[in-house]
Amino acid sequence: MQNDFMPSGALPVDGGDEIIDPINSLAEDFNRHGEVVVLTQDWHPPGHLSFASSHDMEPYTPYSSEGIGPILWPDHCVRGSVGADFHPNINVTFANAIIRKGFRLNIDSYSVFVENDKKTVTGLSGYLKTLGKTRIFLCGLALDYCVFHSAMDGIGMGFEVVVPIDLSRAVDAPPGRLSEVLDLMVERGVQFVKSSNIVFQ
C-alpha cells in the first residue's frame, strides 16, 4: 500500500486507493483482538534489475532470469523516495512488523516469505510459527503478484491461507494473468472470503 502503487503512482494499480480505509479497519480489528499485523514495503535500490530502464527496455516487457521476471517494471518504490513511502492514510501503528522486499539489486521479491530466487527467506515464516500462528490473511497490492506469491509460499510452508478478495486489486500484467493466478490459488487450497465475513473468536 505504497504511493507508487496508487492510481497516480509510478506503477499504478487501478482501484488501489479504494481499499485503504477497509484495510485500516481490518488491521485495527486484528490488532484489537491481539493478532499479528505485518506490512510489506518494496524498497528497491536505484537501477534495480527488475526495472525496465536497467535493460533499456519498455516497462511491462516480458523478461525472465533468475530472481527477475516474468516482466520488467517501471522504476518504482526506490528506497527513500516518496513513492516508496506508505500512502499517508495507511495506519502503520497497527503493524507488529514491516518486511522490506526487493532491496537486493539482482533479486526481485514478490512474496513476503521468500524472494524470487526461491532461496532467500525473509524470516516471516519462523516469526509467525514461533508465535503459534497457523492461519494467515493476505490482502493489498497487487493481487496477481505479491498477494499471489505470498499465498502460494504460505501454503507451501504449512499455513492456512485466506485472502479477503475485496481488499486486493490486481495489475493484470501481462493481460490474463489475474485469471490464471486465481485458478492456481484455488487449486492450492487458498481460501477467498469477503472481509465482512471475517469473524474473530
Domain count of the fold of the chain: 1
Regions of the chain where pLDDT drops below 70: none
Q: How many CB atoms lie within 10 A of CB 82?
A: 11
Task: Kindly write down the DSSP assignment for every residue of 109-136, as one continuous string.
Answer: --SSSB-TTSS-B-SHHHHHHHTT--EE
Within-domain flag for 19:
yes
> Looking at residue 167, what is its pLDDT?
99
Listed in sequence order, the residues at least 6 apart from 58 whose beta carbon sits closer than 8 Å to its beta carbon are 52, 72
Residue range 133-157, pLDDT digits in tens: 999 999 999 999 999 999 999 999 9
What is the reported pLDDT for 98? 98
Identify whether 164 is part of a domain.
yes
CATH number, position 75: 3.40.50.850
Contact criterion met (CB below 8 Å) for 121 and 63: no
Predicted local distance difference test score (pLDDT) of residue 15: 98
The answer to whether residue 201 sits within a structural domain is no
pLDDT digits (tens, 9 = 90+) for 43-55: 999 999 999 999 9
107 and 115 Cβ atoms separated by less than 8 Å: yes
- Supply the pLDDT for residue 201: 79
Domain residue limits at 97: 3-196
> Does 156 fall in a domain?
yes
C-alpha cell at 15: 482501484
Q: Is residue 180 part of a domain?
A: yes
